[in-house]
Amino acid sequence: MQQLVRDTNAWACYDCGKCTATCPVARVGGSLSPRRHVLSANLGEETDPGRDDTLFTCLTCGLCESRCPAEVSYTGLVRRLREAAFDAKIEPECPHGGALQSVMRMMAKGGTQQDRLGWLTEDLKTDPKEGEVFLWTGCTGYYDAFFPEFDMKTVEGTKATVRILNHLGITPVVSPEERCCGHDLLWNGDRQSFDALARHNVELVRSSEAWMVVTPCAECARTWKIDYEPYFEGRIPQVVHLTELLEERFDDLRLKANGMNRVTYQDPCRLCRHMGVHDAPRKVLEAIPGIELEEMKSNRHGAACCAGGTWGNCDRFAKRIQIDRLREARATEAEVLVTACPKCQIHFRCAMKDPNFGSEISIEMLDVAEVVASALV
């Protein structure tokens, strides 16, 4: 515990309370207090991972860290404490019967045949084995299958990504052997399964000889760029979210009006606070003729999250956060809420199914890749 306190800078806590005052869960009535966790760690009281039932209610959104004057890595503290809890056979009560976690662990174990390329159509140019750019597609195919009641079409964002890459003259590697990046397992404490996925995926990209990994998923981008780094040997490929690549290749994009007028943008936690990417998606959206980007009340580093990043927070507090965020989106009078992470779409669509709110919070949602692909010349 003393080493963890040093590693996460918890010892430097001022006890000012800004973290708890900022915490989205605490602000909607939840009992989570980041300051209490930090204080307990400093006192050595967190050696028993089962003593605090709020350990798994943290969204790990990083909002508290962005406002911490002592630069405490609270998300790092929580993740390590969750690993200790998992080792002690303590896990969060995962929504959807834990089905998604089971699929991830099946992929980590290996030996299960997947239909990873079933979404590809003849007009999309990809290579299954080798190329300079590896497109990491993530779990969108699984999401769409798991949530038909939400009319999920997150795989459309994946298809749009391929169209954009082809437009830029890139034939990406899309591998049938891709597995989940392991983001959710890592953040819920299952380090062993994450380790198996990381080693498999890193070797897959290494064997493809790709020098760049591109993904339209904010969580995959964070995992590849930050959490996979220790697994690489030798040359490390450049890892970018799709919007970062589009910013780099901005002069090569030929865009036309796509019929959209006013849009607003949802900053994913992993992209905006964990990776510091704010401008790239905005620059691309604003480059589309006819589009006017209206910012929500909280945006960039201060943006409210979708409240469900690791499939462990599907409760009344998460729903309150989602509903409040959708109200912010509606207040902009935007026609479309643009996202850069498939999970944001899932959680907001789930919230919009609440019969108590109905049209008050309903808004059309599209992935940023879909918006850009519809504007390609």
Q: Quick: pLDDT tens for 110-139.
A: 988 899 999 999 999 999 999 999 999 999
Q: Examine the domain organization and report whether 101 and 241 are in the same domain.
A: yes
In a domain, 209, yes or no: yes
Domain end point (choices 56, 87, 118): 87
Q: Examine the domain organization and report whether 170 and 214 are in the same domain.
A: yes
Which tops the pLDDT comparison, 93 or 99? 99
Q: Examine the domain organization and report whether 14 and 123 are in the same domain.
A: no
Q: Examine the domain organization and report whether 227 and 290 are in the same domain.
A: no
pLDDT band at 93 (very low <50, low <70, confident <90, very high): confident
Q: Examine the domain organization and report whether 63 and 101 are in the same domain.
A: no
**Is residue 313 scored above 90 in pLDDT?**
no
**Is residue 154 scored above 80 in pLDDT?**
yes
| Gap between the Cα atoms of 37 and 25, Å rounded | 14
The amino acid present at 227, given as its one-letter code, is: D
Provide the β-strand partners of residue 238.
212
Provide the β-strand partners of residue 337.
264, 365
Domain end point (choices 87, 105, 139): 87
Q: Which residues of 29-54 are buried (b: 16+ CB within 10 A; e: fewer)?
A: ebebbbbebbebbbeeebeebeebee
User: Where does residue 18 rank: exposed (0-12), middle (13-18), buried (19+ CB within 10 A)?
Assistant: middle
Choose the weakest-confidence range: 50-54, 169-173, 255-259, 320-324: 50-54
H or E stretch covering 173: none
**Model's pTM, two decimal places?**
0.94
Count of structural domains within the chain: 3
Q: Examine the domain organization and report whether 121 and 145 are in the same domain.
A: yes
In a domain, 92, yes or no: no
Q: Examine the domain organization and report whether 40 and 181 are in the same domain.
A: no
Q: Examine the domain organization and report whether 125 and 184 are in the same domain.
A: yes
Show the domain range for 127: 97-248
According to the model, what pLDDT value does residue 51 have? 67
